[in-house]
Amino acid sequence: MGSLIKTARSISSITPAQLHDHLSGSKAFPLHLTGLISSWPALTQWRLSDQLRGMRDAVGEGKSVEIELGKKQRGYLHPDWQRVNMGFAMFLDAFIFDQIPSAIPKSQLPSAYLAQSDLLDGSPKLAEAVPSLPHFYIGNEKSLYRRTVWIGPEKSFTPFHKDPYVGIYSQIVGNKTFHVLPPEAAQHLSPSNLARHTNTSQIPLPVSRILSATDDVHDLADLPRDILETCQHQLKQAFALDGACAVQLKAGESVLIPEGWWHAAEGGDGPGVGVGAWFR
């Protein structure tokens, strides 16, 4: 089925006026924007080679940040998922760079994700490295709702969900894959019944795991027995819809997610850092 997932249209540059026209069309599709943030200083200042020293200095190593902890390859609807607070440096050293020894094997440690963090609001120096773009103000309301920072370990996972805003997510370090589905895909995604999460799919696994050909299912012991078959059936129908696509981001690239479109994200084989913007 992987071959049935189309790749989003890729363009190197787009002006604010062109983006406005695209979003104002009869049906705005996702876009892979390869050069939108090419001038951002963060692309050279935030580096894994120095363990994100540029970010540490801008944020402050002792800054308390909220981290999402949970079972690897599971989303925030999983019962083991929780939010905890810890120092910024502690998070990076323990969960991103494995600098703190643990008696527990790495494979058994939870995944820790600094997700949709408002760090830019409290650190002007950090914000200077990822300056706001005029593209964020071309919506009907000309308003930027929120900009957030994401720092995750290898194979981080955010389940399918939808937002009431247009989104542009930009990868700064590492790589990430987005799977994007049109609003009508809801009928195939089993949205949660929880009041706080009616915008989130109950599909509990990354698309790559659902489509994996491996016969090893030991990692699925916490899920219903027929989960792979069920999810494969759901995704086959969802990805047959017009506009459904995948976007593979490298450092310096962005994805445009139209308002109300479902999207899931998977980190690559190493740590990743990105910045998201939501606007109308």
Burial class (CB in 10 A: 0-12, 13-18, 19+), 194: exposed
> Residue type at 3?
S
What is the pLDDT at residue 218? 85
What is the pLDDT at residue 2? 54
- What is each CA distance from 101 to 69, 109, 224, in whole angstroms? 18, 12, 34
Residue range 157-196, pLDDT digits in tens: 999 999 999 999 999 999 999 999 999 999 999 999 988 8
pLDDT band at 42 (very low <50, low <70, confident <90, very high): very high
Burial class (CB in 10 A: 0-12, 13-18, 19+), 45: buried
> Residue type at 219?
D
- Is the confidence at residue 3, as pLDDT, over 70? no
pTM: 0.95
Q: How far apart are CA 165 and CA 258, in angstroms?
A: 7
Helix or strand or coil: residue 132?
coil
Domains of the chain: 10-279 (2.60.120.650)
Residue range 208-231, pLDDT digits in tens: 999 987 878 888 999 999 999 999
Residues belonging to the chain = 280
What is the pLDDT at residue 227? 94
**What is the CB neighbour count within 10 angstroms for residue 24?**
11
**Smallest Cα–Cα separation from 263: which of 150, 186, 151, 192?**
186
Mean pLDDT over each residue of the chain, to the nearest integer:
94
